[in-house]
């Protein structure tokens, strides 16, 4: 059953049960309509408690339905019926309350959440706007500025922040128990969100939200349309505002941008959990990172952010000092920017040690080599790893281009070897290429995917080939940029054009950030096999040689 109802004395219970995240698809909407009709036919009820089974309250609509025509009952109509019900509904929220789940909660008279619950309206990340009253009810409840922070960015808030802004009425370990014991007088006298006054027009917040959307979501339609809808709450009735919201939602759900963003959403979700990979990963109790340069330090910081413990290995005492300095700079920068607290910074410093002795990492269950892009250097490192780490430890290389099969050939058990290719800056970029060698075991692969999940990165499985996937794409991208440069454009003109197109940064700004050395070494490796009839642009080589 996708939804169940029951009555216990004067309390009715409605539970959404549509694993894994209680998406509000057609079957749930049909059952919810039946539940509303059932509640309206009951007598003597004091409240209806709306819950979600499992790890979610309700995580929005079913995006797979977007390609078809909308089918009744529609979620905004259901939300309106819940809000208009003579018997007050109380949302007892555990897990996720996103999209339509948040909108159902907004239609309830009271909202009680468990600690750590996430509540939000992420629709703009799928190229649409909230479609069941979210843009109209949320500003009435918490004000225009706070509503814009959530709706225009699509970012959820935790229960604690939600309570502080008035989005929920309380936090409890057992929200259902609190909902059962709410004072009947408070329930009957509480105003529904739809009855609340329209929010005051906040032009400063609107201007700031539009500027942020233009910067962070360049050329995307949905964030700006969502901001327009929030602005409309100052002048439109709830009914008129919801009618306009529905028009925009229906328009955007069939747009090219929404189609593309939904495709990306499902592709990324599928990439994170390959169904065929059933092996148990190695534990991530202790990780060794070899190389404390720019990339190695950033990888180390990503591991620390995930709560992991690590040993940072270098070749000598000077290298250890540089590694500690590089990692310390990232921690200090995060503290200065307010990304972590002073306590968080100190916690990160206590969970890593740096050493030039591989024996310091003797208990590591995973090693990530992030040294200079040289086959000889990497083979030397793997030679040390097999001497000092446990025989079942997974050994990973962060190589951008080199053949991991050649690296694995020096390891007695090559099934332990895997590629984990991070992109710079490794503690920020979401992509992680997991490279499968000829002998790589499913355990090693499962460990790579488990690490990606722990780091909240998007894993992409690749085979052994020059540049894997990302760098093969980037090679053609950079080649095109260099060709335009040779034909008379400037680097900043190229960068400006790509940013205007929607890229976060242009190719030359990206190269300034990541460095030129690895790509240069790869070009030298390719000199002998390069097609002499293909135009070669030497600009990046000359920059290295200066």
Left, alpha or beta for 420 (phi > 0: left; psi -120 to 50: alpha)? beta
Contact yes or no for 458/431 (Cβ under 8 A): yes
Cα angle at 439 between 435 and 440, to 5 degrees?
45
- Helices 144-151, 203-216: inter-axial angle, 10-degree rounding: 10
What is the Cα–Cα distance from 45 to 170, expressed in whole angstroms? 22
Token output for 42: 């009951």
Strands (E), 142-293: 157-158, 170-171, 287-290
SS3 127: coil
Catalytic (active-site) positions: 103, 123
Give the residue ranges of DSSP H helices in 143-218.
Answer: 144-151, 159-165, 175-181, 184-189, 203-216
Q: Of 465, 498, 484, 479, nearest to 536 (Cα)? A: 479
What is the Cα–Cα distance from 326 to 301, expressed in whole angstroms? 10
Contact yes or no for 364/384 (Cβ under 8 A): no
Tokens 């009715």 -> residue? 12
Q: Of 353, 360, 343, 352, nearest to 304 (Cα)? A: 352
SS3 21: coil
Contact yes or no for 423/452 (Cβ under 8 A): no
What is the Cα–Cα distance from 386 to 378, expressed in whole angstroms? 12
What is the Cα–Cα distance from 511 to 525, expressed in whole angstroms? 19
What is the Cα–Cα distance from 284 to 361, expressed in whole angstroms? 13
Residue partners of 347: CB distance under 8 A and separation at least 6 = none
Q: Of 63, 175, 161, 178, nearest to 118 (Cα)? A: 161
Q: How far is CA 263 from CA 23, 127, 213, 318, in A?
A: 17, 11, 22, 48
Strands (E), 298-443: 310-313, 352-355, 366-369, 394-397, 417-422, 431-436
């Amino acid at each position: 059953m996708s939804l169940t109802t029951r009555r216990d004395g004067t309390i009715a219970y409605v539970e959404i049960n549509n694993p894994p995240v209680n998406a509000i698809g057609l079957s749930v909407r049909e059952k919810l309509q039946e539940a509303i009709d059932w509640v309206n036919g009951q007598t003597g009820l004091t409240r209806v408690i709306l819950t979600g089974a499992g790890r979610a309250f309700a995580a929005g609509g079913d995006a797979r339905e977007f390609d078809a025509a909308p089918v009744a009952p529609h979620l905004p109509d259901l939300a309106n019926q819940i809000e208009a019900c003579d018997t007050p509904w109380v949302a007892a929220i555990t897990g996720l309350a996103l999209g339509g789940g948040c909108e159902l909660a907004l239609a309830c008279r009271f909202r009680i959440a468990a600690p750590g619950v996430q509540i939000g309206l992420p629709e703009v990340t799928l190229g649409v706007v909230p479609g069941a009253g979210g843009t109209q009810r949320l500003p009435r409840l918490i004000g225009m500025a706070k509503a814009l922070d959530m709706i225009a960015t699509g970012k959820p808030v935790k229960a604690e922040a939600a309570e502080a802004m008035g989005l929920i009425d309380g936090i409890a370990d057992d929200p259902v128990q609190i909902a059962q014991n709410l004072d009947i007088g408070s329930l009957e006298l509480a105003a529904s969100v739809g009855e609340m006054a329209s929010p005051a027009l906040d032009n400063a917040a609107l201007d700031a939200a539009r500027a942020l959307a233009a910067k962070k979501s360049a050329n995307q339609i949905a964030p700006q349309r969502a901001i327009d809808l929030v602005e409309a709450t100052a002048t439109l009735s709830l009914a008129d505002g919801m009618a306009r919201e529905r028009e925009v939602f229906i328009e955007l759900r069939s747009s090219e941008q929404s189609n593309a963003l939904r495709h990306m959403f499902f592709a990324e979700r599928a990439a994170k959990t390959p169904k065929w990979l059933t092996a148990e990963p190695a534990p991530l109790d202790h990780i060794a990172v070899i190389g404390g340069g720019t990339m190695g330090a950033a990888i180390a910081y990503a591991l620390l952010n995930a709560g992991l413990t690590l040993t940072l290995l270098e070749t000598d005492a000077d290298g250890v000092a540089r590694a500690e300095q590089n990692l310390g700079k990232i921690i200090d920068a995060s503290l200065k920017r307010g990304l972590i607290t002073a306590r968080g910074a100190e916690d990160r410093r206590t969970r890593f040690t740096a050493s030039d002795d591989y024996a310091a990492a003797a208990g590591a269950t995973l090693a990530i080599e992030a040294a200079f892009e040289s086959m000889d250097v990497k083979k030397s490192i793997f030679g040390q790893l097999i001497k000092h780490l446990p025989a079942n430890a997974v050994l990973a290389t962060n190589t951008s281009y080199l053949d991991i099969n050649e690296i694995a050939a020096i390891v007695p058990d090559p099934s332990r070897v895997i590629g984990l290719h991070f992109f710079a800056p490794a503690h920020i970029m979401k992509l992680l290429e997991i490279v499968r060698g000829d002998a790589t075991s499913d355990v090693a692969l499962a460990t790579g995917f488990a690490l990606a999940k722990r780091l909240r990165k998007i894993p992409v499985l690749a085979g052994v080939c020059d540049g894997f996937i990302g760098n093969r794409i980037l090679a053609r991208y950079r080649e095109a940029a260099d060709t335009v440069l040779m034909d008379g454009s400037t680097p900043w003109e190229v960068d400006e054009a790509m940013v205007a197109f929607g890229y976060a940064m242009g190719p030359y700004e990206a190269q300034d950030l990541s460095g030129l050395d690895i790509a240069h070494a790869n070009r030298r490796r390719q000199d002998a096999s390069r097609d002499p009839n293909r135009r070669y642009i030497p600009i990046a080589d000359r920059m290295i040689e200066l």
